[in-house]
Amino acid sequence: MADLSTFDPNSVGNPNNNIFGLPFSEEEARLVILPIPWEVTVSYNAGTSRAPDHIFTASLQVDLFDPEYKDAWKQGFFMRSPDKKILMKSDYLRKEAELYINYIAQGDVVSSNKFMTKSLKEINQGSLFLNDWVYEQTSALLKKGKLVGLLGGDHSTPFGYFKAIGEMYPSFGILQIDAHCDLRDAYEGFDYSHASIMYNALQHIPAIQKLVQVGIRDYCEDELNVINNSNGRVVTYFDRNIKHRQYEGESWKTIVDEIVSQLPEHIFISFDIDGLDPKLCPHTGTPVQGGFEAEQVFYLLHKIYLSGKRIIGFDLNEVGVSHDEWDENVGARVLYKLCNLLTASNPANE
């Protein structure tokens, strides 16, 4: 364990230390954050692949005192450096994807264009490569007894981690905080699009017992059909319905208690930052009006913790990069809360 005798948690974050200015190595840390600098299939704004580096910098301004999970940081958080080869592959395939998306947006047929056919094949192969890489990295960490948080990048990135978690837990649920359902089948022709992450997870990972979506406000009819035909495997709390219930007198506590009751005993949190009000994440990939204040989501997460249900992992995705570092500052604070929650939910003596 790291020697904390000379570390002052009330002082300024030391950039020579790791995430949040904490003086832990990967070996010493109980929780390891795996950054995934990948955004090949984003449909609108790019920039999320550079988010992990920016969030690392912003994290040095985060105060370590958290009254809900006091001293959770003392168990150690460590973030790996983003893999440059993954970033380079993302940059290359992103250029291919931009050309492809512009092509199909004009209504042109992909099969009639050899270059576009080749590009689509390369992009889908790249996504398979990433899925395998994320699976290998997260699986190895889990086998070492580490708690793991994944930091994107776009929302396609956690598929391999879901697979690794599914090998450790025969049954678990996903709590998805998001503006979008992400239940599209091969959106834009991309087999593992950021807009298809939950569709793919449900199709390929049988250990996922339930998907509970909260804050959804931008979706298509096909996705609604997936929800309605899921036999209760997918439960969606649409932003509109949440707000209407509140307008008519229901409290957020009442709604949160209902959400918590829908979740199984083991829960993976998949947090797309665009689930928040876009004033908190204006440079996210696909911002949508509406959404939550951060504290509303933190209240939900704390209620899950108090329920005795166990958080087994998390991902945080779609944080944008901005000139004033606003998105990154919000992202860093969300990341810290998730780290504290995951650590507190898994007592070290168990």
Give the chain's domains with CATH numbers. Answer: 19-344 (3.40.800.10)
Tens digits of residue pLDDT in 116-161: 899 999 999 999 999 999 999 999 999 999 999 999 999 999 999 9
- Give residue-wise pLDDT tens across range 20-52: 999 999 999 999 999 999 999 887 777 899 999
What distance in Å separates the CA atoms of residue 26 and residue 146, rounded to the nearest whole number? 10
pLDDT digits (tens, 9 = 90+) for 77-122: 999 999 999 999 999 999 998 888 888 888 878 888 888 899 999 9
14 and 21 Cβ atoms separated by less than 8 Å: yes
201 half-sphere exposure, CB direction, 13 A CA radius: 35
Distance CA 211, CA 292 (A): 19
